[in-house]
Amino acid sequence: SADFFDPDNKRAVQLRERVALETLDELLDYILEQGGSVGILDATNSTLERRKAIMDHIRKRAGPELGVLFLESRCVDPVLLESNMRLKLSGPDYKDQDPVKALEDFKKRVALYEKSYVPLGEYEEQHNMPYVQMIDVGRKVVAHQTNGFLSSQVVYYLLNFNLSPRQIWITRHGESIDNQLGRIGGDSELSENGHRYAKALARFIDDQRKRWEAHQKQKEMSHFPPHPGDSTPPNPAYGPRDRPRNFCVWSSMMVRAIQTTQYFNEDDYDIKQMRMLDELYAGRMEGMTYDEIKEKFPEEYEHRKREKLQYRYPGPGGEGYLDVINRLRAVIIEVERMTDHVLLVGHRSVARVLLAYFLGLDRDQVAGLDVPLGVLYMLEPKPYGVDFKVYRYNPDTDWFDYLPDFKLHQASPLQ
C-alpha cells in the first residue's frame, strides 16, 4: 500500500534502502565480475539522498571509470497525468483491484513521493553528473554532459521515443515467379497467387484499421476514476488525439514488394518504397536455387549452413544478415519515432530482423526464424510490453485467419 512509500515510515525506508543497495550490488556483480557491458537500475531514486548513496556505492565498488547516466521521466501535462494514473491501475501493482480504492491508494503514494522528490538538475550539474530528463513522454528532453557513444545513443533513442497507440504490421511480399521456381533473390514479378494475396492484404488492413479506430473510441472513458470492468485506456501520449491515425505503407524497391502494395488506395495510405527494405543480396548466387548452390559452390553452401548469421554471400555487393541488420537500423528508429500506423512489406531476411527487434529476441535467433509467405504479423507497442498477433492468408476464403496459438520457431537451416 501507499504507507510503504511514506518517508516518515522509518522501517519501510530502511527496508527500501537495503533492497535498493542489494539490487545495485547484483547489477555491479554483473558488470564487474560477469562480463556485462551495460546495466539498468530501474528504481524511483526520487530523492537527492538516494542518488548520492547510489553514486557513493558505485564509486566505492567500481571506481571512477564506470560511466553512470541518470534518466528521469516527468509528467506535468494534466491530461498525461490522468492517462498515466489510469494506466497504472491496469498494471501489475493494482491488477484486479477495485479501481476507486486503487486510485485513492496510488494518489496517496504519489503525494508521499512529492514530499521528498527532488528532480534532476542543479546538484547533478554542479557535480558533473550526466543525466537525461524526459518531460511529458518526449515533449521536451534535457541532456546534460551526455558524452560518449552509449550516452549519445540513449539520448537519440529518447528523442525518438513515444508511447502513442499505434500498430506495426510486417509481412513478406506475395508469392513471386521466382518463389514458384525456388530461386533466391532476383527481381521477378508476382505470380497469380501473389496478386490474390496483395488484393486481400489491402482489404484486410482496411478492415483492421477501422476496427482499431472504433476500439480506441470505445476505450476513451468519460468518467474518472474508472468503473470496475472498464477496458485499459489509451497509452499515455503527447500529441493530437482528435483525428484518425495516419497509416503508412512502406515496401522495398523490388518489383514483387511494390506490386504487393499496389492495391492500397493512395488517398487513404501514405505509400513509399525504400531500398533499406530490399532482400538480402546473394551476390554471385542471385537467382539460383539452393540445390544449384550446393552443386556449384559446395564449400560456400556448407559455410553458410554452419554460420548463417555471420555468413556473407561472395561476389560484388554480396550481403549477409549483419549487413541487413545494419541497414535496417534507420528504418527501426523511424518506426520507433513515428506515431502513425505502418505496414512494412519486405522479404524473408527483412521480416526476420524486424520481428527479432520488436519482440526482443536474441541475435542468434534472427537468421533462422521461420517467416513463410502468406503470414501477416501485427505488433502493438504497450507500456507493459508488445501485443503480438499473427494472421495467415486463407486462399479458400480469400481472407486472413487469426492464429491465437501461434509461436515463432526456427526454420530449415538452408532458408
Catalytic site positions: 42, 75, 279, 347
Residue with cell 472498464: 230
Burial of 231 (C-beta count, 10 Å sphere; 0-12/13-18/19+)? exposed
Whether the bond into 372 is cis, omega within 30 of 0: no
Alpha-carbon distance of 119 to 125, in angstroms, equals: 12
For residues 301-324, one letter each, b for 16 or more C-beta atoms within 10 angstroms of the residue's C-beta and e for the rest, the string is beebeeebeebbbeeeebbbbebb
Alpha-carbon distance of 4 to 10, in angstroms, equals: 10
Cβ atoms within 10 Å of 239's Cβ, excluding its own? 11
Q: Can you state the angle between helices 10-33 and 48-62, rounded to 10 degrees?
A: 30
- Joined grid coordinates for residue 410: 526456427
Q: In what order do the strands lie in the sheet with 341-346?
A: 270-273, 247-251, 341-346, 168-172, 375-382, 385-394, 399-402
- 337 φψ region: left (φ > 0), alpha (ψ -120 to 50), beta (else): alpha
Alpha-carbon distance of 383 to 164, in angstroms, equals: 10
- Joined grid coordinates for residue 60: 566505492
Cβ atoms within 10 Å of 346's Cβ, excluding its own? 29
User: Rg of the chain over CA atoms, in angstroms?
Assistant: 25
Burial of 177 (C-beta count, 10 Å sphere; 0-12/13-18/19+)? middle
Cα–Cα separations (whole angstroms), residue 278 to 65, 185, 258: 42, 10, 11
**Closest residue by Cα to residue 171 from 349, 401, 375:** 375
- 3-state DSSP assignment of residue 391: strand
For residues 390-400, one letter each, b for 16 or more C-beta atoms within 10 angstroms of the residue's C-beta and e for the rest, the string is bbebeeeeeeb
